[in-house]
Amino acid sequence: MSVGKNIKIFRINAGLKQKELAAKIGVNESYLSTIEGGKKEPSLSLLKKISLALGVPLSTFFWEDMENEDQNSSKTKLKRLLLQLTAEIKPS
Range of the domain at 57: 3-89
The predicted pLDDT at position 60 comes to 82
The predicted pLDDT at position 59 comes to 84
Provide the 3-class DSSP secondary structure of residue 51. helix
Q: Using CA atoms, how far apart are residues 40 and 16, in angstroms rounded to an integer? A: 20
Model pTM score = 0.70
| Positive or negative torsion for Cα 88, 81, 10, 86 | positive
pLDDT per residue as tens, the chain (92 positions): 589 989 998 999 889 999 999 999 999 999 999 999 999 999 999 999 999 999 988 888 887 655 555 555 666 666 667 776 666 665 55
Query: Can you say how many angstroms the Cα of residue 15 is from the centroid of all Cα atoms in its chain?
Result: 11
Q: What is the CATH number of the domain that holds 11?
A: 1.10.260.40
Q: Which of 89, 88, 83 is nearest to 12 (CA)?
A: 83
Residues 59, 82: contact at Cβ < 8 Å? Answer: no
Instruction: Please give the tally of structural domains in the chain.
Output: 1
